[in-house]
Structure 1
Amino acid sequence: MGKSQELYKKAKTLIPGGTQLLSKRPEMFLPNLWPSYYSKAKGCKVWDLDGRKYQDFSYMGIGANILGYADKHVNKAVKKAIDDSSMCTLNAPEEVELADKLCEIHPWADMVRYAKSGGESATIAIRIARASTKKDIVLFCGYHGWHDWYLASNLGDDKNLEGHLLPGLSPLGVPKGLKGTSFPFAYNDKKAFDDLIKKYDGKIATVIMEPLRNTYPDAGFLEHIRKVTKQKNIVLIFDEISAGFRLCLGGSHLIFKVEPDIALFGKAFSNGYPMAAVIGRRSIMEAAQESFISSTYWTDKIGLVAALETIKKYKKNKVEKVLDKNGTMIQNGWEKLAHKNNLNISIMGIKPLSYFSFNYENDKEIKTLFIQEMLKNGFLATTGYYASFAHKSDDINDYLKSVDHVFKLIKKAIKDNNVKELLDSEVCHGGFKRLT
């Protein structure tokens, strides 16, 4: 127990849910022992409030810091923007520069709107699609944030969102009048998609989906979605907030050569500074002028210059190649060390967004033990790894040495049937859960 843990106790009395982001809750990692707060971070190193240093081999700012923490080039651009004033009655010229750059990277797109978070950008895109088509129903596949249009799916069936990243999401507070406006389909399930198209034919405004998350699309899957949405005049939105700028400069859909009508970006493309973008075809995006979509801090200069500098550095250093190399080293290391220690795990995810799971009945207990022991060895680690340009080969080798040690300990604990006895905390949470 240290200053971070003590501060989090206070936070839970002042902040509903303890933090602003579910994915940063200490209970998702190591209840009562996770170092909840940082004093500084640089590259892939993080210092807590007690001055303890860790290497971050978990989520690197929940996927935002693709270049690493406090990147000197991005920070330099941001500091200049601050000195020149990040806010003004007039507009920042970087709005036009970034829009031009995003459309250059994605030649199918003609226009751009900005926001500050992924969830906001998804909601803006849904509004634009509904305004453009004059229809209401949304079909979705994947995770798209916390807003009413998305959680409304659970008004009809509280299991609708179960397979879309987070289980247990309640639609409490979502207007009941939104019931029947949002419906899910599973990734790579063409039949489920076609059944929804048939059932709600003529009423569907948009299909929003992650073109890529944990698995690659089956041959023809994205092409089928694109073909049907074109035939039915349905706006196709690709949510690239998680996958964008991981496999290439821009959206993952560029790899698959399937062009949407709108694409969303956030997280990685501004390296930790609040920024999001909605890019799209002129014929659809112009509907934003008829619907009131407006916010003061969407005009802030900091996110704009951070995105421009991140894109510049990404392109110059071919960052996607480094992310692939790092992710490959991690996935190969997990596989080799699990085999060496006779542990049953499953590895999944694209190389820059890698995951593994323990294939045992008490998997949550084992996961908690893994997090606990890796923390003792100086690593912020869980069963996921988000690759960063800041992770060097020596860092990865140090991490894998620690994984080897912890896997060995876990195998013995499974054999001795005393995993829970070795835990210094409660078992980690696995989804949305009310804090007490």
Structure 2
Amino acid sequence: MTELFRRFAKSGSLRQRARQVIPGGGHTYAKGDDQYPLLAPGFIERGSGCHVWDVDGNEYIEFGMGNRAVGLGHAYPDVLKAVETALRSGSNFTRPARIEVDCAETFLDLVPAAEMVKFCKDGSDATSGAIRLARAYTGRDLVACCADHPFFSTDDWFIGTTVMNAGIPETVRQLTVTFRYNDIDSVRQLFASHPGKIAAVILEASRTDEPGDGFLHNVQRICRENGALFVLDEMITGFRWNTGGAQAEYAIEPDLSCFGKALANGFSVSALTGKREYMRLGGLDHTDRPRVFLLSTTHGAETHALAAAIATMNIYRNEPVIEHVYRQGRLLADGIEQAAKRHGLADFVKVVGRPCCLTYVTLDQNQSPSQAFRSLLLQETIKRGVLMPSLVVSYTHDDAAIAETIDVVDAALAIYARAMDDGVGKHLVGRPSHQVFRRFNQPDDDHAGVVPCLP
């Protein structure tokens, strides 16, 4: 066991330093120590393609891909070349840069339903910008978001709906109501309960489940009948489901939509886009309505980030990226499902989602979702050189990487099967991981993921 800890000695030391100066030790909850088992890399040093190396020099095939932000692969050469070229001319100026127009035109050419676009830095800014526009346009206060989709924004209008709502006034919490995905009656009920008060409905087009019985189009119709805006969160689906986003895949035209994640292959670019009728309220040309203070960010149009976005979008347009991630995702899902069957775990370890954006479910002996078994599977795959908080493939996940991953998961599932018989506690080192959204930290959270420093 000491040797296993020694494998992450530098990560352990760095964790202790990080948690003294950064709340939680990092800047994204999904990357936190509490999301991983004790025996896990704490910090990544570098990445190339579908591989990453941690600060201790351990190499992994990676399937988180920057929480789905890296669609092509880490340090993708064509994207880096575009970034380097842009940086030589400066990154931020007093007036807009020409590349802002170039990037907007490139984006709108890929997303034909959109008529105007404004770039920003993260998904929360884009979705919150959409909510502000909808409220301004409709003159209404309430927002309806899908309760089955885990994250829309760090801002109060969404976080107030979660159990981590400390610091958010009750009056703000009451301004967001929720409905269920693929449950059109729950949408109808909201509008019936709040007539003339809902400004917008926001949801992801799909996640692990596909929209059934015309759900998206029916939600849009209800919005139009009731004077509310229909908003799609395309942070994940954009540039994975289809080069034109899920809206192109499902042939639906939202009033507003929000893109990010894979838009710039890991560089910080997100986008609020939509119909001119709504987007123009953030501009200078209208006189019929009040001005909307919309996405004014000093760093929102840094030239190197927009250069990364243009290069990324051009690759998506000219190369079979979408086809590749679907193909590799299918190979990965098939291989893992076969391995689960071999170990008698088909009812306990399940691959879910679209092939282009897979994740997995870990169940205990009672077929209930289990953080302990999830942690065990992570621990055993990490031990064998695969880092898979999800099963998200990139353009650089080749057949060799998929085959190696399937072999690693197969070996890890052998341990999982043993743990089903003699208890997960006999195989998992330390505490299990936790859910991000919880009201209080657990007693062991102060030490979560802190590996002892060893000489």
TM exceeding 0.5: yes
Residue matched to 1:272: 266
Alignment equivalent of 2:300, drawn from 298, 305, 311 = 298
Kindly provide the CA deviation profile for residues 350-384 of structure 1, in whole angstroms up to 9, marking residues without a partner as x: 111112222214832222121111111111123x2
Structure 1 residue 423 displacement after superposition? 1.7
Aligned equivalents of 1:238, 1:17: Cα separation in 2: 31
Alignment of 1:313-328 (within 5 A): 313-328=315-330
Question: Does residue 380 of structure 1 match 2:378?
Answer: no
Alignment equivalent of 1:351, drawn from 349, 355, 369 = 355
Residue matched to 1:166: none
Q: Which secondary structure state, in structure 1, belongs to the residue aligned with residue 53 of structure 2?
A: strand
Aligned equivalents of 1:285, 1:222: Cα separation in 2: 22
Alignment equivalent of 1:429, drawn from 425, 434, 440 = 434
Aligned equivalents of 2:216, 2:176: Cα separation in 1: 20
8 Å CA contact retained: 1:241, 1:264: yes
Kindly provide the CA deviation profile for residues 27-47 of structure 1, in whole angstroms up to 9, marking residues without a partner as x: 20113x321111111101111
Alignment of 1:18-417 (within 5 A): 18-31=25-38, 33-57=39-63, 59-141=64-146, 142=149, 143-152=151-160, 154=161, 161=162, 169-289=163-283, 290-293=291-294, 294-343=296-345, 344=347, 345-360=349-364, 361=366, 363-382=370-389, 384-415=390-421, 417=422
Structure 1 residue 411 displacement after superposition? 0.9
The one-letter code of the counterpart of 2:428 is L
8 Å CA contact retained: 2:60, 2:385: yes
8 Å CA contact retained: 1:40, 1:46: yes
8 Å CA contact retained: 1:131, 1:288: no
Q: Which moved more, 1:298-307 or 1:235-244?
A: 298-307
Q: Which secondary structure state, in structure 1, belongs to the residue aligned with residue 325 of structure 2?
A: helix
Change in CA separation of 1:377 and 1:179 when aligned onto 2, cut-off 3 Å: closer
Aligned equivalents of 1:49, 1:358: Cα separation in 2: 29
Structure 1 residue 3 displacement after superposition? 0.8
The one-letter code of the counterpart of 2:196 is G
Structure 1 residue 335 displacement after superposition? 1.1
Structure 1 residue 253 displacement after superposition? 1.4
Structure 1 residue 404 displacement after superposition? 1.0
Q: Which secondary structure state, in structure 2, belongs to the residue aligned with residue 370 of structure 1?
A: helix
Structure 1 residue 299 displacement after superposition? 2.5
Aligned equivalents of 1:126, 1:280: Cα separation in 2: 12
Structure 1 residue 51 displacement after superposition? 1.5
Aligned equivalents of 1:197, 1:116: Cα separation in 2: 33
Q: Which secondary structure state, in structure 1, belongs to the residue aligned with residue 25 of structure 2?
A: coil
Deviating 4+ runs (over 4 angstroms): none
8 Å CA contact retained: 2:363, 2:373: no
Backbone CA RMSD of aligned residues:
1.4
Q: Which moved more, 1:234-243 or 1:139-148?
A: 139-148
Structure 1 residue 13 displacement after superposition? 1.8
The two structures have a TM-score, normalised by structure 2, of 0.89
The alignment of Structure 1 onto Structure 2 pairs a total of residues equal to 418
8 Å CA contact retained: 1:26, 1:35: no
Aligned equivalents of 1:26, 1:393: Cα separation in 2: 31
The one-letter code of the counterpart of 1:354 is L
The one-letter code of the counterpart of 1:407 is L
The two structures have a TM-score, normalised by structure 1, of 0.93
The one-letter code of the counterpart of 2:86 is A
The one-letter code of the counterpart of 1:381 is M
Q: Which secondary structure state, in structure 1, belongs to the residue aligned with residue 350 of structure 2?
A: strand
- Percentage identity across paired residues of the two chains: 30
Aligned equivalents of 1:281, 1:54: Cα separation in 2: 43
Structure 1 residue 313 displacement after superposition? 0.8
Aligned equivalents of 2:121, 2:173: Cα separation in 1: 28
8 Å CA contact retained: 1:22, 1:432: no
Q: Which runs of 5+ in 1 are unaligned?
A: 155-160, 162-168
Q: Which secondary structure state, in structure 1, belongs to the residue aligned with residue 86 of structure 2?
A: helix
The one-letter code of the counterpart of 2:363 is N
Q: Which secondary structure state, in structure 2, belongs to the residue aligned with residue 46 of structure 1?
A: strand
Q: Which secondary structure state, in structure 2, belongs to the residue aligned with residue 223 of structure 1?
A: helix
8 Å CA contact retained: 1:5, 1:34: no
Aligned equivalents of 1:281, 1:182: Cα separation in 2: 23
8 Å CA contact retained: 1:137, 1:205: yes
Q: Which secondary structure state, in structure 2, belongs to the residue aligned with residue 385 of structure 1?
A: coil
Structure 1 residue 221 displacement after superposition? 0.5
